[in-house]
Structure 1
Amino acid sequence: MFSVLLLLLAWCAAGTACARLCLAAVRAATAIVASAEATGSGDGDGERAGELTLHEAAFLSGGPTRVVDLTLVAMARGRRLLLAHTGWVTVVDPEPEDEWERSVLGAIGPRGQSPLAPVRRAAAAGDAVRGLADRLVAAGLAVPDGGGGRTTVAGAVRQVRVAAAAVVALGVVALLMPQDGGAEDWLVALWFALPLLLSVSCLAIARVEAHPYARWASPAGHRLLAAAVAAAAAEGADRELALVAVRGTRALDEPAMRAAFTHR
């Protein structure tokens, strides 16, 4: 009886996780198709290849916060502000050169100094980033925000992985327990192999059909992302900024600047 209860738990974990993964994939695909049909831009991604800026690449790679991080790093490189390893940002030049700098300076405030974390949050919610998101969604390169469009496949995949691990753990516990009715160990293992097979199959299908598991970029956005960043670097754009746009602040070479973003 105890083994049966463990088997039911295994099936519940695997079934719930796989169902969530399927729903997340369907919702994300539906949102992307609906956006492309509404804007008439589903076939226009080739025209956008040469127009994808570093800020657009940053949004497609890491969302609003990545755009703000890119701006902060660029301003620090240009000696327009200071990023301290203690997690504080100080304004050096209060005159913004573009909408991104204006958003960051506005988030820092009139005192010219602030902890970095609230600056990142405020600037990420600003008009400049929202406008960028709207333009990318209209171009069919970003996943629409709303109606479950950003119910992430990545989160569902993580849940399926956890469910698969849980199935294995429950199976091991069942094998270690005395078997009711003299059930053979191989039969108990076979029982738990079925929900494990379901979980692994869903992961394999997701890997083929939905990888990379994106939160922000649509499939068209992913196709353009690598080429656009490479083109920007070839045209003389700072290589480190391109890496920050795609990989985030962990790509920074300077430990002190990395510490500014990770300080708590």
Structure 2
Amino acid sequence: MWLLFLLLAWVVAVVSCVRVCRTALAAGLALHRGADATADADARADDTGADAGLTLYETAYLAGGPHRLADVVLVLMAQQRRLHLAHTGWATVVDPVGQDPVERAALSAIGPEGQRRIPAVRRALTSAEAVRGLADRLVRAGLAAPAAVRTGIGTAVRHVQFAALLVLLAAGATYWAAPSGEVDGLVLAWFAFPLVLTLGTWAVARVEAHPYTAWATEAGSALLRHEHPGGPSRRPGPSPTEPTEPTEPTGPTEPTGPTEPTGLTGLALFGPTALADPGLRAALHSSGA
């Protein structure tokens, strides 16, 4: 019986570890292709003289994903007195006219009643077409990690965690199910190998998987650091054969004069803790930010 438990432990451990390695390899290749695409786009931008910076929304997405983008658009509209963000975590519409697709998506997420909890608004915005379109453009530019990269690594790591638990359960079952004296230390030692394999893979994945689970690729992170030596970066311009999209803005480019909305760049880069307004911090934090 103990051989059956040992075989199960080994199969689960090896399969889960191989899956992590294969997923990490595929993710690395995807991010490498993204970096190459960005380098090619930079070269084309130099040839055509194009030089466009990241918008505030793009900066927020690369730094913190769609939830950060949702916080940025809500705070932007609140600072312009078009939304009211209560410290209890409610968003209330003051002016129901959006100035760009993301703002209109935020108003749609709040709903016709004009008031909704901020966590619900965040969840609705993450699946909004305007946000998905922005994310797709960043992925095509090689700046944002594809969704398959992020979710694939996370799923593979969870499988390794499950495999480690299963090895422990198999060893325990072997010990308790076997007749007294039949299972010795040598038999249990055989379970130590798959346990060490899974725990070691898990430990390495926790250290090494961050580049694959971040929202920005290496190229996107480098661009963020370039634009903000703590901040915004330069987005590669379109290729000569790639049409621009002049119809609607993808997000406001943050002004640099005295009218600049306070704290929006810090919010985009670092989250609600960067906000100077305690009321806005309370609104976002009380809602689970």
TM range (shorter): 0.7 to 0.9
Q: What corresponds to 2:82 in structure 1?
A: 80
Q: How big is each residue's C-alpha offset from its partner over 1:209-242, in whole Å with a ceiling of 9 and x where there is no partner?
A: 543341532232234445655235xx79778545
1:162 aligns with 2:159: no
1:189 aligns with 2:208: no
Q: How big is each residue's C-alpha offset from its partner over 1:152-186, in whole Å with a ceiling of 9 and x where there is no partner?
A: 3133223313322332343345345546773422x
Q: What corresponds to 1:6 in structure 2?
A: 5
Which SS does the other structure have where 1:82 is aligned?
A: strand
Question: In percent, how many aligned pairs have the same letter?
Answer: 46
Contact kept, 8 Å, 1:45 with 1:139, in 2: the verdict is: no
Q: What corresponds to 2:130 in structure 1?
A: 128
Which SS does the other structure have where 1:212 is aligned?
A: helix
Q: What corresponds to 1:68 in structure 2?
A: 70
Q: State the alpha-carbon separation in 1 of the partners of residues 102 and 187 from structure 2.
A: 60
The one-letter code sitting in structure 2 at the alignment partner of 1:168 is L
Q: How big is each residue's C-alpha offset from its partner over 1:22-63, in whole Å with a ceiling of 9 and x where there is no partner?
A: 2322332343345556xx42466799xx93444223322443
Report the aligned-residue RMSD. Answer: 3.9
Which SS does the other structure have where 1:161 is aligned?
A: helix
Q: State the alpha-carbon separation in 2 of the partners of residues 18 and 125 from structure 1.
A: 32
Contact kept, 8 Å, 2:119 with 2:287, in 1: the verdict is: no
Q: State the alpha-carbon separation in 1 of the partners of residues 105 and 221 from structure 2.
A: 27
Which SS does the other structure have where 1:63 is aligned?
A: helix
Which SS does the other structure have where 2:59 is aligned?
A: helix
Q: State the alpha-carbon separation in 2 of the partners of residues 122 and 153 from structure 1.
A: 24
Say which is worse superposed, 174-183 or 69-78, in terms of deviation.
174-183
The one-letter code sitting in structure 1 at the alignment partner of 2:57 is H
Count of residue correspondences:
255
Which SS does the other structure have where 2:77 is aligned?
A: helix
Q: TM-score of the superposition, structure 1-length normalised?
A: 0.72
Return the match for 1:245 from 258, 268, 281: 268
Which SS does the other structure have where 2:215 is aligned?
A: coil
Contact kept, 8 Å, 1:83 with 1:260, in 2: the verdict is: no
Structure 2: gaps spanning 5 or more residues: 46-51, 233-255
Aligned in 2, Cα 1:93/1:65: closer, same or farther, shift over 3 Å?
same
Structure 1: gaps spanning 5 or more residues: none
Q: State the alpha-carbon separation in 1 of the partners of residues 155 and 204 from structure 2.
A: 15
Q: TM-score of the superposition, structure 2-length normalised?
A: 0.67
Contact kept, 8 Å, 2:171 with 2:191, in 1: the verdict is: yes
Which SS does the other structure have where 2:287 is aligned?
A: helix
CA apart distance, 1:260 = 3.0
Q: How big is each residue's C-alpha offset from its partner over 1:118-177, in whole Å with a ceiling of 9 and x where there is no partner?
A: 5334433334323321331232111235xx445431332233133223323433453455
CA apart distance, 1:98 = 4.2
The one-letter code sitting in structure 1 at the alignment partner of 2:84 is L
Q: Which protein has the bigger helix share?
A: 1
The one-letter code sitting in structure 2 at the alignment partner of 1:162 is F
Contact kept, 8 Å, 1:24 with 1:151, in 2: the verdict is: no
CA apart distance, 1:69 = 2.3
The one-letter code sitting in structure 2 at the alignment partner of 1:258 is H
The one-letter code sitting in structure 2 at the alignment partner of 1:20 is R
Contact kept, 8 Å, 2:28 with 2:212, in 1: the verdict is: no
Which SS does the other structure have where 2:231 is aligned?
A: helix
1:260 aligns with 2:287: yes
Q: What corresponds to 1:25 in structure 2?
A: 24
Aligned in 2, Cα 1:106/1:207: closer, same or farther, shift over 3 Å?
closer
Which SS does the other structure have where 2:211 is aligned?
A: coil
Structure 2 matches for 1:142-181, cutoff 5 A? 142-145=144-147, 148-176=148-176, 178=178
Q: What corresponds to 1:198 in structure 2?
A: 197
CA apart distance, 1:250 = 7.6
Contact kept, 8 Å, 2:88 with 2:282, in 1: the verdict is: no
The one-letter code sitting in structure 2 at the alignment partner of 1:41 is T
